[in-house]
Structure 1
Amino acid sequence: MELQKPRGTRDFLFEEMKERKLVENTMRKVFETYGYQEIKTPIFEDLSLFTLKSGEGIIEEIYHFQDKGGRDLALRPELTAPVARLYLNQLQKAPKPIKMYYFGSCFRYERPQAGRFRQFWQLGCELIGGKSPDCEAEIIAMAANCLEELKLEDYNIHLGNLGILRGILSQNGVSSDQQDQIMALIDKGDVEGLEILLEELQLSPESREILLKLVGMQGHYELIAQVKEMINDYPDALASLEELEELLIMLEAFGFTAYTVDLGIARGLDYYTGTVFEIYVEGLGAQKQISGGGTYNLIEIFGGEKVESTGFAFGFDRVMEALKIQENIKSNKKNVEVFVAPISTDMKLNAFKIAQDLRKNSISTDVELVGRKLKKVLSFADNLGANFVVLVGARELEEDKVTLKDMESGDQEQVPIETVVEILQSRLKDL
């Protein structure tokens, strides 16, 4: 029987893990620079947490099971709902705004395809209790900051405000459930289905024309004036447009103007209430969206007080794929800085002591453990990418010295044991 990994999952080997860790740590640093603190939630939660948020239909899309106590549980398909649950359990009385970020794996039972897996990773944040559009501007700027630090090219942040479309629909007497159906069609880009539904709902010809025109509109700040003229008779929609305009002004203060106003963003989830945004990267094909987020009211749906929240998540695997395509990942290929090797078997205890001394001084060090001959030791150390090899021989030890070999130049010299740490620290610092 040949053992295989489950369908839709992946193994990551050494070099790929280095690259993933580099990207993860770069994003973590940006989040923490903005004052966000890390949280961690369970990999599985009560199934009701996700059905309450997304409806019973999500059961077909996720991994769910009963434990030995008969409790209905599910592997988390995303991290926004667990964060909202954590807030309700432990942070309702905490001073606001609360800034949290997370990194973890999620699971969905769907057909694996390019850029889509059954186990995948999300790195994102939530800002709970902040004031709009202030918090939205900071979060969008932070997302862009992450991508700039990663030197990711050809990304585009599309942003809009759901209140514009919902304001027009509400004024036409369209119910919340019907609005959700419309938003789902817009999210899928199903223009034909949208036209049919709007006709069935008997919207006024003027409103129908405006809606269909809006969902196809994209531009920059100048788009605001054009839309104002179109929706001047829809006060709620106009108020949301003014919120969007204020957000764009604030984004400029945050030093970010490389956005696209996109009034066709719907996100397809009914708990989003205002600003929404998505980030795309050219070159990823159908899976070009690497992030999405906005302002939502999920906590009230879960039974808490009404508190405005804004958040987003990067599809971490898609970010990695984009960086790989652009060849923008520059991880350190070296596994260790120093390799310590005894020249003979009776020198191995001394070699272990020297290796430990180097490690205690924060020098990444490997040591010979299988008794190879010198030629194979040097070959192995070179394969590890070691900068230096410390050779421990009996004759040198009698003089309290070891041999230090520079693996790049091939030069070697004898140095006192008591100075080997200091010498290596100095030389490694200069590399």
Structure 2
Amino acid sequence: MPHTMALLRRWGALTKARANTNRLSSRANAYGAAASSQVETVGAGGGRSSAASSVVKKQQSASEEKVKMIDLNPPRGTRDFLPAEMRVQKWLFSKFAQVSEMYGFDEIMAPVLENEALFTRKGGEEITQQLYNFTDKGDRPVSLRPELTPSLARIVLKQGKGAIYPLKYYAIGQCWRYERMTRGRRREHYQWNMDVVGVSDVSAEAEIIAALVTFMQRVGLSDKDVGIKISTRSLLAEVLAAAGVPDDAFVPVCIAVDKLDKVGEEKVREELAAVGVPDSAATQILAALKVTSLEDMQELLGESTKALDELTELFRMLDARGMSDWLVFDPSVVRGLSYYTGVVFEGFDRKGELRAIFGGGRYDRLMSTYGGEDIPCAGFGFGDAVIMELLSERNLMPSDAEIRRVLGIPETIVVSATSEAMFDAAGTVAEKLRCRQANAADGVTRVDLVLEKKKKLKWIFKLCDRVAASTLYLVGEKEWADGQKVVKKELATGEQEAIALDEL
């Protein structure tokens, strides 16, 4: 049997070519794609003898008794995450967390399963019709959370008078909504929230909007890619008052107006009529929603108002941070959730090809919905699906190798026997390397032992490429017999040497 060193030399050219390519250059355009499988059925051919015919019949009988394959796709609107996709998700979540921590926010988390009342207490919203809800075995109505903000409210109220304000919390969690799926919209998604609790001034909104701009910049996006539409519900209330619309129509008007970009002006006009808004008033409202500057809005209303003053202050704060190019005044932005009470904002793709990237605003009266005392709050929700589409379209997704580096994923060492007889020895080498890494001060290295006992070198090198291994240890019979030696090969350079087990 040839020496392991000689075998490796035959693969020198392969290793050199491999070192000049980008290993595992998978992109995140596969992120979130549902796994699909096809089941291939092979028909039995006819035999030329009675014995062959008997075998065919037995095969057919066994096939008929075979259990029918289940649907291998995950439920509609959900996703599988394979290793490369998990690394992409961790990379995205690490960016969320880094920005949150940079701005002094602390992480919290709540269960994905909550009491149903947490989401239905504030009725009349579309979201209450999209719940994944059921009655558990204790006859308790529960629901998978459709968003994170109600859970935050519950956590804040639970702290009672022991809470020291302001609270600055962030969370990254899974959310569920049974809704019609479109591009960038799934029934299961992950969401990043940042919330400030206990600050009534627009400085809270300025802080979280600044955090959003910082995130965009850190993933390579600019104000040419993303804009942030800003308005305030108070301004819409002033527009409605000027148009003679009663206060009790405010929430349904907000819900209708929020659909303007999606369904168009005529459909919104129909929905306004359905909630009792006269056509003349609808015309005034729709005209006001087309105003593009605070100065023009002041002229339309005839005077400066509290809402306009508030927006002017917010724009000034963000301009002082050098972020004005990201901002767009858009009075049509009201956000669909009825708990918003003041400033609202929404991130959008400048090309207009994708749905909203994120959205948020002020919600000062949410706590009383749950029986507590109201506390001023401002925050945002940021889903994982649209941002990944945007980054992929702009070619801003890092390679798998870069993601590994950013995440600090340790290097991988592969250990393999060159024959079945050497598998136990390979296990000894792997444990020796693992023990060494466990005691290392610079972190743990992955030691991947090849469990298949009869694999050829070509397969082993492919494995090394797939796991982005830096080093390969081959355990051959002749080297092992010569003082328990193994061959160590540096895959980036092709350098190799025989090393004794005690020297590992």
Question: Do they fold alike, i.e. is TM over 0.5?
Answer: yes
1:338 maps to a residue whose letter is: I
1:384 aligns to what? Answer: 467
- Counterpart in the other structure of 1:332: 400
Aligned equivalent of 1:288: 355
For 1:145, the equivalent position in structure 2 comes to 214
Q: By how many angstroms is 1:318 displaced? A: 1.4
Number of the residue aligned with 2:233: 162
Change beyond 3 A, Cα 1:59–1:310: closer
| CA distance in structure 2 between the partners assigned to 1:194 and 1:15 by the alignment | 43
Check 1:183–1:352 CA distance in 2 against 1; reply closer, same or farther (3 A cut): same
The match for 1:428 is none
Aligned residues between the structures: 410
Contact 1:159 1:275 (8 Å CA) reproduced: yes
Residue 29 of structure 1 and its aligned partner are, at CA, apart by 0.8
Q: Distance in 2 between matches of 1:292 and 1:279?
A: 6
Partners of 2:490 and 2:234 in 1: how far apart?
65
Query: 1:111-170 CA distances to partner (integer Å, 9 max, x unpaired)?
Result: 333322221111112111123211100100101111211113511111111211202324
State how far apart, in whole Å, the 2-side matches of 1:6 and 1:194 are: 33
Alignment pair present for 1:268 and 2:336: yes
**Matching residue's letter, 1:390:** Y
Aligned to 1:341: 416
2:302 equivalent to 1:302? no
Contact in 2 for aligned 1:342/1:351 (Cα 8 Å): no
Would you say the 8 A contact 2:415–2:426 is kept in 1? no
Aligned to 1:230: 300
- C-alpha displacement of 1:176: 3.2
Determine if contact 2:239/2:288 at 8 Å carries over to the other structure: no
Judge conservation of contact 2:78–2:186 (CA < 8 Å) in 1: yes
Q: What corresponds to 1:47 in structure 2?
A: 116
Task: Map Cα deviations across residues 227-249 of structure 1 (whole Å, 9 max, x no partner).
Answer: 2222234x6xx111111010011
Q: Which amino acid letter does the alignment assign opposite residue 213 of structure 1? A: A
**Higher deviation after alignment, 400-409 or 44-53:** 400-409
- Cα deviation, 1:250-287, whole Å, max 9, x if unaligned, reads 112333122111111111332211111000124673x4
Shift in Å at residue 173 of structure 1? 5.5
Where does 1:22-421 land on structure 2 (aligned, <5 Å)?
22-55=91-124, 58-90=127-159, 92-152=161-221, 154-170=225-241, 174-189=245-260, 190-192=264-266, 195=269, 197=272, 201=277, 211-218=285-292, 223-233=293-303, 238-257=305-324, 258-282=326-350, 285=353, 287-297=354-364, 298-333=366-401, 336-343=411-418, 344-360=422-438, 361=440, 362-373=444-455, 375=457, 376-392=459-475, 395=479, 402-415=486-499
1:414 Cα deviation from its structure 2 partner: 3.7
Letter in 2 for 1:247: L
Query: RMSD across aligned C-alpha pairs, in angstroms?
Result: 2.8
- C-alpha spacing 1:188/1:19, structure 2 compared with 1 (3 Å): same
Is 1:108–1:118's contact at 8 Å kept on the other side of the alignment? yes
Whole-Å separation in 1 of the counterparts to 2:235 and 2:125: 29
How far the C-alpha of 1:105 sits from its partner, in A, is: 1.3
SS at structure 1 position matched to 2:164:
coil
What SS does structure 1 have at the residue aligned with 2:382?
A: strand
Residues 259 and 268 in structure 2, CA contact (< 8 A), matched pair in contact too: no
- Structure with the greater alpha carbon radius of gyration: 2
- Does the 8 A contact of 1:185 with 1:191 survive in 2? no
How far the C-alpha of 1:200 sits from its partner, in A, is: 5.6
Q: For residue 380 of structure 1, report the CA deviation from its aligned partner.
A: 2.0
Q: TM-score, normalised by structure 2?
A: 0.74
Higher relative contact order (CA 8 A, sep 6+): 2
Report if aligned partners of 1:224, 1:241 keep a CA contact under 8 Å in 2.
yes
- Are the structure 2 counterparts of residues 50 and 279 from structure 1 closer, same or farther at C-alpha, using a change threshold of 3 Å? same
Indicate the SS of the match to 2:195: strand
Q: Is the 8 A contact 2:288 2:300 kept in 1?
A: no
Q: SS at the partner of 2:341?
A: strand
Unaligned runs of 5+ in 1: 421-431
> 1:286-337 deviations in whole A, cap 9, x for unaligned?
x421100001121122222121100101111111122222222114347853
Structure 1 position 48, deviation (Å): 1.3
Structure 2 residue identity aligned to 1:217:
V
Scaled by the length of structure 1, the TM-score of the pair is 0.86
CA contact (8 A) 1:18 1:331 kept: no
The aligned residue for residue 423 of structure 1 is none
Q: Secondary structure at the match of 2:334?
A: coil
What SS does the corresponding residue of 1:289 show, helix, strand or coil? Answer: coil
Q: Which runs of 5+ in 2 are unaligned?
A: 1-67
Q: Alignment partner of 2:258: what SS?
A: helix
Q: Is the 8 A contact 1:351 1:367 kept in 2?
A: no
Letter in 2 for 1:353: E
Query: What is residue 427 of structure 1 aligned with on the other side?
Result: none
Task: State the secondary structure of the residue aligned to 1:327.
Answer: coil
Distance 1:131 1:253, change over 3 A: farther
Equivalents in 1 of 2:344, 2:375: separation in Å?
17
Describe the SS at the equivalent of 1:272: coil
Q: Contact between 1:355 and 1:367, CA under 8 Å: does it hold in 2?
A: no
